[in-house]
Amino acid sequence: MYLETPPRLIETRLFSAMPDKFRRKGERTDWADANRPGVPTDSFIEGPSFDKDANLYIVDIPFGRIFRIAPDGEWSLAIEYEGWPNGLKIAADGRILVADYRHGIMEFDARAGRIAPVLTSRNSESFRGCNDLHLASNGDIYFTDQGQTGLHDPSGRVYRLTQSGRLDCLIDTGISPNGLVLDPTETVLFVAMTRDNAVWRLPFMKDGSVSKVGRFCSLFGTSGPDGMTMDAKGRLFVGHASLGHVFVFAPNGELIARVKSCAGPNCTNVAIGGAKKDRLYITESATGSVLVADIGGLNS
């Protein structure tokens, strides 16, 4: 995973944990029964994304909740609804888009406290279970339709919903497609394939289709890569859902750093924040914690 220099170790600290008043202790949900059988689950947070006022929005999948965490770490419930919000991204214009495992792609109006569907099906067929999304600079929405796919059923899909409303299926052979992100030139899409324990690289052709899809990196563990983000220098930050780390890869695929969880092993999603974009925020889902790491040193 590296050539000459071992990856730098970056420690984390707790930014904020879900207050007890929001934890649903002792409650069972269909989502937890299917995805965390036998494990007490009072929350399962993912999808961190910052608004223009530096509030951090996150989702709580099993209980259909979206939270707002203020810069000082204080939590407030933004909405609770009948859904399983999985991924969340805030656009430059302030739109809040949600990949909902039950309903498809949704839009959350934080001012009004309402959530409404954007896209619920393809050719009258429901999605298998939307997981995460990424917003291109032109407004196109890239999202994954993961469902329960894996090595036994490599049929996960990656879609692009264009500004004009056209829905393109970019790949339909995904092994549990999860987090995704475009490179800085927006000519390559990276997709975490959780149950392949790898990140796939999808280069775009001139007509917008993908070709020569390959594995950018391979990992290990009982789960796999989950949420991802990329900085302006093209370094890929990959949250791993069972190894308690976020792995940082250079544009050539070399592992240059590992960001170690100070909480549990379920580092599911990541977001870059801070005034200088020098902090990495991580959802540690099982403990309901948001961690933070200083990543400014990667530039030295």
226 is in an annotated binding site: yes
Residue in 168, 181, 253 with CA at minimum distance from that of residue 215: 253
- Residue pair 275/260 in contact (Cβ under 8 Å)? The answer is no
Is the distance from CB of 61 to CB of 91 less than 8 angstroms? no
| Ramachandran quadrant class, 216 (left: phi over 0; alpha: psi -120 to 50; beta: rest) | alpha
Please, which residues bridge with residue 117 across strands? 106
82 labeled part of a ligand binding site: no
Determine if residue 269 is labeled as part of a ligand binding site. no
CA quadruple 50, 55, 56, 62: dihedral sign: negative
At 252, the amino acid letter reads: N
Q: CA torsion sign, 185 to 188 to 193 to 196?
A: negative
Q: Are strands 104-109 and 96-100 parallel, antiparallel or unpaired?
A: antiparallel
Does the annotation list 74 as a binding residue?
Answer: no
Q: Which of 33, 42, 226, 294 is catalytic?
A: 226
- Please choose, from the candidates 249, 24, 202, 147, the residue with its C-alpha nearest in 3D space to the C-alpha of residue 259: 249
Beta carbons of 261 and 292 less than 8 angstroms apart? no
Residue 5 token pair = 């220099």
Bridge partner list, 79: 66
226 is catalytic: yes
Reference 234, options 220, 216, 218, 214; nearest CA is 216
| Cα separation, 23 vs 145, whole angstroms | 28
Q: Which residues are annotated as a binding site for substrate?
A: 131
Binding-site residues from annotation: 46, 131, 178, 226
Which residues carry out catalysis? Answer: 226
Name the binding residues for a divalent metal cation: 46, 178, 226
